[in-house]
Amino acid sequence: MPAFSTLKMITQVEADWYRQFLPQSKIEVVRVSRRVTDHTPCVLIASVNNYNEFSKKQDLVRVQSLVRWAKQANLRVIIRKHPRETDNFWPTYFPDLEIDTSPDLFDEALKRIKPMFVVSWFSTALVDALLANIVAVSIMQATDTTLSDLVFEIPKHCLLWPTAESVMNALVNGHTDVASCVSELQEARRDHSLSTVTK
């Protein structure tokens, strides 16, 4: 690996991982200033682009169950498409869902929409959500090989749908709060089950 003088990371997890390979480099974690505190009852789905062997359609059943849950919980569901996304997944399978077409950056959209949850597959939008004090949810399975090569371990730092439905219900029903859940996900303490987030 090149002997970079300075590296700027978006998470402490990445900083710790690179430090073992570049002990002489200055490694900084860039902190964002935008932090949502007045969340709205909303699920923002950060969509992803299909590529190679990956297609959103392979997870259609899980996405459908998530949307059903959100509607039953009286949560607004908004789709934020990937800039390079060209398929018709959302209009075809979810024609009644709102698609956010605003040209603002994703972190600006988080501040504008103020969702309680950001849902995606393996997007950096999940990291952006946590840094903005929003609960990150992945619809990927913990054993999915797509996640195995990521430095930022999604199964440790994000809720997984549908296994985390009870935690998400607790958040919606006010039995726990977003800040506590986000803190737990950011730390991802191995000796601390996510079930302890609920009261």
State residue 195's pLDDT score. Answer: 39
- The verdict on 62 and 140 lying in the same domain is yes
pLDDT at site 144: 67
Distance CA 101, CA 80 (A): 7
Q: Measure Cα distances from 159 to 3, 76, 165 in Å.
A: 35, 19, 9
Cis peptide bond prior to 162, omega within 30° of 0:
yes
Model confidence pTM above 0.85? no
Q: Give the whole-number percent of the chain exceeding pLDDT 70.
A: 82
Listing DSSP states for 73-92 in one string gives TT-EEEEE--TT--S-HHHH
Do 23 and 94 sit in the same domain of this protein?
no
| Domain boundaries, position 156 | 40-197
Instruction: Give the pLDDT score at 155.
Output: 65
Q: Are 107 and 32 in contact (CB under 8 A)?
A: yes
Question: Is 126 in contact with 136 (CB distance < 8 Å)?
Answer: yes
Q: What pLDDT is recorded for position 199?
A: 34
**Within this chain, do residues 121 and 149 fall inside the same structural domain, yes or no?**
yes
The pLDDT of residue 172 is 97
Q: With a cut of 70, which residues of the chain have pLDDT below it?
A: 1, 10-12, 31-33, 142-155, 188-199
Are 138 and 43 spatial neighbours (Cβ–Cβ below 8 Å)? Answer: no
- 103 and 128: one domain? yes
83 and 14 within one domain? no
Give the dihedral of Cα atoms 61, 154, 73, 128; nearest 10 deg. Answer: -120
Distance in angstroms (rounded) separating the CA atoms of residues 193 and 190: 7
CATH code for position 187:
3.40.50.2000
Q: Write out pLDDT tens, residues 18-60.
A: 787 888 888 887 766 578 999 999 999 999 987 777 788 999 9
In this structure, are 84 and 60 located in the same domain? yes
> How high is the pLDDT of residue 187?
77
Please tell me whether residues 55 and 144 are part of one structural domain.
Answer: yes
Helix (H, G, I), strand (E, B) or coil at 166: helix
Q: What is the number of domains present in the chain?
A: 2
Helix locations, the chain, DSSP H? 12-19, 60-72, 89-93, 106-113, 125-131, 154-157, 165-172, 178-187
- Identify whether residues 159 and 87 lie together within a single domain: yes
| 86 and 54 within one domain | yes
